[in-house]
Chain A
């Protein structure tokens, strides 16, 4: 829990790696700049602390995401990545601190409001609706912005036809985008593991997010599948969606992200570009000191 020692091989100790406690000279990592409303800022995590009973899961964590980037949140197992993630998507309420999305606080918002506001996510352990078909799963996501309710559905009013048609087309398009269109009519429980992961991404994209959060999307993937996934993540970014990637596999993150924040024991220990972070002694200590299946 103490500050990481800088005792790593000195070829790794490059000058551009900086200790976390000092504010970053550039970039959106300084939350204090948020109040001014930088239009480039998408999400700000502002001194967030989260306690469960006596356990401090997140300790004064701050960072921010800019529009259009692929942002990595990494750390060894148990570092608080998923907790952070859950706080951002409304599953947990932070004990203190604020999370702002496009300048608006997320604290106290309902989960479905956060989703409709533009944050979508996938789950570390796939959580599809197992008895629904792949297409139906994606359509649930697309329904987030629909207004069809009981009356329009019951009497098949024009809104129903309009939304059903556009939702279905959009969902099929997304299934094609992630490469599982041929499984559209299959019950999602019967999809292969890799297909289920892709389906989750399609479902999240269907909510038309500004920010897509992927929670260890590569878990259980073989190297070839990982390469495909990286390509998919880049394509998602190219459609204009900001991507937040949670991973403990350093290599995967290094290959795709623009910027990275490293958590350890619920604290931020480093922030910067992949190159900066890779060479940060604190990060190396964290990864070497806590044996994980990273790399």
Chain B
């Protein structure tokens, strides 16, 4: 019991659900919340101009950053984090191979649209036409992965999902005609649309429109996931995460809702992939390394698993931190710190998790849990 004192009292205050900004937000009437949400959204839309803000602007948008691209990267990382949060944060299914769905979304798009694809006959599909098909394929893949693995408990599930992503990567590297390995797919079309001047909105030089597209998709995903969370579906997920057997005894159809979690997570991951393919115009097997899904998982947990604000923050951070290091040279070897980005990032992850084991923005529920758990700390 003496160990109770080890937990710093400051942390206790921060984690309290009804204090702080989140508590304040929760107590406000609907119209205040609506205004705050709209202002936040407005600020997000204006993010491409963040560099013009005096004083803090240059700190955020440093010389080395291609800011629009950096923002677009953040947008699909945030999407992935939101999707993985459904699987890991809500349903409690530890998925280490989430990048697999991202890859399927991107490859699905490429297969349908690119001139390099086996499926290419006389003309490829447009990006917009390919997107729903690619997403359907991704969802199906989620079900295919989910079905045999439902019986597996946490850590076993982790290794099997990791294997799933590896298999997709291996297929991509080892099928020179189908997924084309290193050569990859070129000429994947961009999203449609023309500006007033007749030029396409989604071009190759400026990634800003892609960021806005990504942002729009994120908003839709947030609304959708929120609707699911606050319903029988979300309650079933939480119940499964908390005590799967008790949930089933209380009438929760565990198999069905676990599969839904997989399918929805896959869908959102696929969305990220479709966007990515549309922006890059080129993908190959090097794009989808396993470290990628581990990074996304780190983002989700670092931000605060089981909570969308946390997932968004975590997703943005894992994308932004490495970019921020560009153009800074270290004092000893004068190499660009960007080289060290993942090494530094690893240290940052450890520091954040040690200081805030529940993530940067703990979910209300988890915060309460921690408060209680501190009382139970067994003497070590």
Which A residues fall within an 8 A CB radius of B? Answer: 89-91, 110-112, 115-116, 120-121, 123, 127-132, 136, 139-141, 143-146, 148-150, 152-156, 160, 163-164, 167, 187, 189-190, 203-204, 207
Contacts and interface: CB of A to CB of B under 8 A. Distances in A.
B368 A132 contact: no
Q: SS class of chain B's interface: helix, strand, loop or mixed? A: helix
B368 A187 contact: yes
18 contacts: A89-B249, A110-B248, A112-B250, A112-B252, A116-B251, A127-B245, A129-B242, A131-B368, A132-B238, A139-B232, A139-B235, A143-B236, A150-B228, A155-B227, A167-B232, A187-B369, A190-B372, A204-B250
A154 B252 contact: no
A140 B233 contact: no
Given A148-B232, A153-B231, A154-B228, A130 B248 contact: no
A163 B243 CA distance: 24
A153 to B, nearest CB: 4
Minimum-distance CB pairs A-B, first 6: A144-B251, A153-B231, A131-B365, A129-B242, A115-B251, A127-B246
Nearest to A131: B365
Contacts of B369: 130-131, 187, 189
Given A115-B249, A143-B235, A144-B251, 5 more contacts: A112-B249, A136-B235, A140-B250, A145-B251, A189-B372
A89 B248 CA distance: 11
Contact of A112 (B228, B234, B248, B368): B248
B254 interface: yes
B228 A143 contact: no
B16 to A, nearest CB: 12
A189 B247 contact: no
A94 to B, nearest CB: 17
Interface residues of B, number: 32
B232 A163 contact: yes
A150 B257 CA distance: 9
Contact of A207 (B228, B235, B245, B251): B251
Contacts of A150: 228, 233, 260, 264
Nearest to B251: A144
A160 B365 CA distance: 24
Contacts of A145: 251
Contacts of A204: 250
Contacts of A155: 227
Contacts of B253: 112
Interface string B291-307: 00000000000000000
Nearest to A189: B372
Given A131-B366, A132-B365, A136-B235, A156 B251 contact: no
A127 B252 CA distance: 15
Contact of A111 (B233, B236, B248, B368): B248
B198 interface: no
A145 B224 CA distance: 24
A152 B176 CA distance: 43
Given A127-B246, A189-B372, A207-B250, A132 B231 contact: no
B251 A141 contact: yes
Contacts of B372: 189-190
A263 B372 CA distance: 38
Contacts of A154: 224, 227-228
A211 to B, nearest CB: 14
Nearest to A164: B231
B247 A140 contact: yes
A128 B250 CA distance: 10
B316 interface: no
A282 B217 CA distance: 71
B243 to A, nearest CB: 5
B228 A153 contact: yes
B239 A132 contact: yes
B250 A115 contact: yes
